[in-house]
Structure 1
Amino acid sequence: MARPPDVFVRPLAMAEGRRLQRICRTARDPVRLRRAMVVLASAQGWPVPQIARLAQTSQRYVRGVIHDFNEVGFAALDPKWSGGRPRTISEAARAEICLIARCCPRDVGLPFGAWSLSKLREYLIDRGVVASISRETIRIILRGAGISWQATKTWKASTDPDFASKMRRVLALYDHPPEGGRVVCVDEFGPLNLRPRPGRGWYPAGRPARIRATYTRTLGVRHMLAALDLATGKIFYRIRDRKRWREFLAFLKVLRRRWPTERLYVVVDNFAPHRHPKVREWAVDHDVELVFLPTYASWLNWIEPEFTGVRYFALNGSDFTSHDQQNAAIAAYLRWRNQHAEPKRDFAVSSKIRQPDYVINVA
């Protein structure tokens, strides 16, 4: 069999040669770099077999690059990626896969309440939606349609017929604190019991911190009564054995002594001790206004997200053996937090509750 004649690139202009040299020095794409090397070597008189050995490729590839460059010039250096094989699952089938994945399996006569990818795959094939499909393909189709695996969430509508007026009252105090008054958000946090608490942290891969799983509840529980001062952003608190109206009233007296000359607007939920007749009587006599939230609307209390910080930074990942240890950890965190506190402003400014057309979700 005769040897194929050598193929060489067409004569190059000086500028084309410099451009090829620049591409060989700076190209980041390996395909573009190799093709430029092939063309430049051919322009320097190298035969095809030597270029193939230099580029670690086949002679057929070298001849193809040279022919392409002779025809279209530098455009031949850019790789033309193929679009892959055609889709084997039609758009209609993809839409049906997404529809089935979003329904409950019981709705289609199956005896379970949630899909796994394996069960969904079996159902799709048995029903004839597709002839064959892998679990990963199902995952890709669902992800492309914006469908992801999520936990079910609960919701609770307010039963308060005065929801709107109470919400507006609370928001007005947050946005425009009265002159000569101080707005304070109060709530209880707990129960604070002694048990190992799971947490998160940065550890070597595969070697997380471990805490005991067994414990006994022999030392009782504690409760934290806390107040968030919106003017300073600081939290003031007491930890008590119980959270009856007596403990709540004693805490209000502490707040009253802290700000003796100002009228106090205390935002609280509808917990029974907050509404006790003796608490209300004392509040009227001591220039304290109890501002009650709508029922089932604790999210309107500005102190609620602050408890998340206490739980995350002071309690999670801990295994305290005494209430004194636990109380000290809470105290240390709140001291640090109060040192960095700033006045509270702009409550839920981008929330839908701020929209004039907000539809109140009342049961």
Structure 2
Amino acid sequence: MSICAAVAVVLTAAERHRLKKMAYGHKTPHQARQRAAVVLLAARGRGNARIAAETHLHVDTVRTWRGRFAHGGLPALADRKRSGRPARFTPVQVAEAKALACQLPAETGVPLSRWSCPELAAELTARGITDSVSVSTVRRWLLEDAVKPWQYRSWIFIRDPDFRAKAQRVLDLYARMFEGVPLGRDEYVVSSDEKTSVQARCRCHPTLAPGQARAMRVNHEYGRGGALAYLAANDVHQAKVLGRCEPTAGIVPFMNLVTQVMTTEPYASAKRIFWVVDNGSSHRGKRAIDRLASRFPNAIMVHTPVHASWMNQIEIFFSIVQRKVVSPNDCTNLDQVRDRLRAFEDRYKATAQPFQWKFTTTDLDDLLARLDRHTTADRQEISSAAQTT
């Protein structure tokens, strides 16, 4: 009985280089590495039996991939397309499932605040869109279009009629500009606010330090040791923070913070100090501007737009304090809270860098343009609905 000779394999330089990358690449799939190794050994004149012994493959497998490469080259080493199991759900059913996920449950008569994959799977079956569908299938459908109805983001609409002018004024100060003129070296921009209700929480059991394969453990029950307000002012361009603790927030505590900053160099002898504040009750409106100017003539109060405290950079510092100092809190009394906040200020000043503020007036114009398009579309939709009814 005649034995078929092994198919001869001849490689070009480019094919050899590509096959070596496949055979020795750390990120190459295991099957692709085996096939590349078979072809490389075949190109060296090895027989199928010897290749099978070296690669620990069956000789029929070696013969198959050797023959495929000899007739089809590198593309022949890829898996052939398989028909697979016939689709169980039609494209219309998939589209209806995605359309349902993009609707608010309340609008469809379902008493839910938001959809989850199990709820969607049950609703699709209840409505007769599908006979039965698994939760993983629904999740896979939504993943195709990155639809995540279980997530939500809150937002607030712009109500300040002078939003553009006020926002530009603050953004210009962050860029060291005021009314179109660059700030001088003896002019500073200070961002300030208060963090209210910083509590002293004495845990009923001591906090346990983290260990191997164990997170830090904080007892859920605690005794209340009182609360205080933490007021802080941040030099936007020098990353210099000055803060103080007060029993409560208000006009007097805020002016105490202002006095603390304005009597400290280099602010005491500065030409102008711009105080960026939000519209909180302790520094709201024209009265607060006049109060500050009468006390310190070189101080100018600049308000962020209404409901735009995110423009106040001190909020970034407060978020750092919240993560690194306040939460979790295990202090027996307010004195420990005060000491920890003061110590953190010193630690922060030693390594702090100015925040990389990237939101510019150009970004502001783009934001307002997008909001204008949305409001225009909403008005048109409301108008057309009113005409229809």
**Quick check: TM above 0.5?**
yes
Unaligned residue ranges in structure 1 (runs of 5+): none
Q: Is the 8 A contact 1:187 1:269 kept in 2?
A: yes
1:216: which partner in 2? 223
Q: Give the Cα separation in 2 of the matches to 1:185 and 1:15.
A: 67
Where in structure 2 are the equivalents of 1:49-128 lying within 5 Å?
Answer: 61=61, 64-65=64-65, 68=68, 72=71, 74-75=73-74, 78-83=77-82, 85=84, 86-128=86-128
Query: Helix, strand or coil for the counterpart of 2:201?
Result: coil
Q: Is the 8 A contact 1:194 1:319 kept in 2?
A: yes
Q: Are 2:320 and 1:321 equivalent residues in the alignment?
A: no
Q: Is the 8 A contact 2:6 2:48 kept in 1?
A: no
Letter in 2 for 1:9: A
Paired residues, number: 349
Where in structure 2 are the equivalents of 1:149-164 lying within 5 Å?
Answer: 150-164=150-164
Q: Is the 8 A contact 1:105 1:115 kept in 2?
A: yes
Deviation at 1:292, TM superposition (A): 2.2
2:251: which partner in 1? 245
Q: Are 2:42 and 1:32 equivalent residues in the alignment?
A: no
Query: Helix, strand or coil for the counterpart of 1:110?
Result: coil
Query: Helix, strand or coil for the counterpart of 1:194?
Result: strand
* Percentage of matched positions with identical amino acids: 24
Unaligned residue ranges in structure 2 (runs of 5+): 26-31, 376-389
Deviations 1:197-254 (A, max 9, x none): 9x9x98654x32211111122x321111110112312110111112221111222112
Could you say which structure has the larger radius of gyration? 1
TM-score (norm 2): 0.74
Q: Give the Cα separation in 1 of the matches to 2:323 and 2:172.
A: 30
Of 193, 196, 208, the match for 1:187: 193
Letter in 2 for 1:325: Q
1:281: which partner in 2? 291
Relative contact order, higher structure (CA 8 A, sep 6+)? 1
Deviations 1:41-94 (A, max 9, x none): 9x65667xx987876666655664565466x16559714243562543333322
Q: Which moved more, 1:122-131 or 1:185-194?
A: 122-131
Q: Give the Cα separation in 2 of the matches to 1:84 and 1:208.
A: 49
Q: Which moved more, 1:220-229 or 1:254-263?
A: 254-263
Call closer, same or farther: CA 1:148–1:230 in 2, change over 3 Å. same
Q: Give the Cα separation in 1 of the matches to 2:151 and 2:202.
A: 25
Deviation at 1:309, TM superposition (A): 0.8
Q: Give the Cα separation in 2 of the matches to 1:183 and 1:80.
A: 64
Deviations 1:137-159 (A, max 9, x none): 21111111111255323222343
Q: Is the 8 A contact 2:193 2:231 kept in 1?
A: yes
Letter in 2 for 1:182: Y
Q: Give the Cα separation in 1 of the matches to 2:293 and 2:231.
A: 17
2:5: which partner in 1? 8
Q: Is the 8 A contact 1:24 1:36 kept in 2?
A: no
Q: Is the 8 A contact 1:96 1:129 kept in 2?
A: yes
Query: Helix, strand or coil for the counterpart of 1:139?
Result: helix
Q: Give the Cα separation in 2 of the matches to 1:30 and 1:122.
A: 44
